[in-house]
Amino acid sequence: AEALKIFQTLNINYDLNVMIGDLSIGAQQMIEISKAMMSEAKVIIMDEPTAALTNSEITSLFKTVNHLKAQGVSFIYISHRIE
């Protein structure tokens, strides 16, 4: 129930019964962010989070980051991609 609530808050829709290894890299990253939210993290460190993502997954990731930033969560973002 707690995972479903966080999924709804982050606007992500994955079957809670699917093995994480069966999900895309982008989906796995969203699961990791969800896990951080379950522990009420105030800082999330992301190392090259967009390296293996598609453009749509990158868009989704940044929507989630912006949503969490608005709720007071801070991010340390490490990237070699300068765009």
pLDDT mean across residues, the chain = 85
Supply the pTM of this predicted model: 0.72
- At 54 the pLDDT is 83
| Domains in the chain with CATH codes | 2-78 (3.40.50.300)
Q: Which has the higher per-residue pLDDT, 72 or 8? A: 72
Buried b (16+ CB within 10 A) or exposed e, 25-36: ebbebbbebbeb
- At 22 the pLDDT is 93
pLDDT for 4-44, tens place per residue? 888 887 777 888 888 989 988 888 888 888 888 888 889 99
- At 83 the pLDDT is 63
Distance CA 71, CA 77 (A): 17
